[in-house]
Amino acid sequence: MNFNYSNMNRACVKYTAFLGLFAGMVLMSSCDKDRDYDEIPFAYVDFYINPNSTIYWELNSPNGWIYLVANSPSRGILVYRDLNDQFLAYERTCAHDPLVDEARIEVEASSITAACPSCKTKYILLDGYPFEGPGKRPLKRYQTSYNGNTLHIYN
């Protein structure tokens, strides 16, 4: 009997390549934890405030912050003034588990961190990233522009 090993080797290589590709795709999808989370629902945000006014006196100094009400389904917006007189605006919905009703961040006494009372994730307000608790993703951030008088918060 005479076997043609070259045709058999080509078939094995193709079959092995197919199995390798399939196994790689399965492993990649099972290791991608970002696919296992719920997105924070989109809320249209576009408004202006004057942070120098007495209405927003909390924003007149570094590390100052306020909560603002926003369009549904947002749970509100946290506006934070950093040490460089820049304003940061974050969605108050906790990024760890946004579908839980109680997942709303609250500024802590230090005024530079915020925490979710539901999952206990803590975030640094200078960049919105978690530093303690189960959360791995940063807070949703809105864009801001400030001209010295008016602060525009939008997405």
Fold of 46-154: Rieske Iron-sulfur Protein (2.102.10)
Amino acid symbol at 114: A
Per-residue pLDDT of 135-154, as tens digits, reads 999 999 999 999 999 999 99
Per-residue pLDDT of 111-141, as tens digits, reads 999 999 999 999 999 999 999 999 999 999 9
Rounded CA gap, 83 and 22, in Å?
A: 50
pTM score: 0.74
b/e code 34-65 from CB counts within 10 Å (16+ = b): eeeeeebeebebeeebebeeeebebbeeeebb
Q: Where residue 11 falls among pLDDT bands split at 50, 70, 90?
A: low
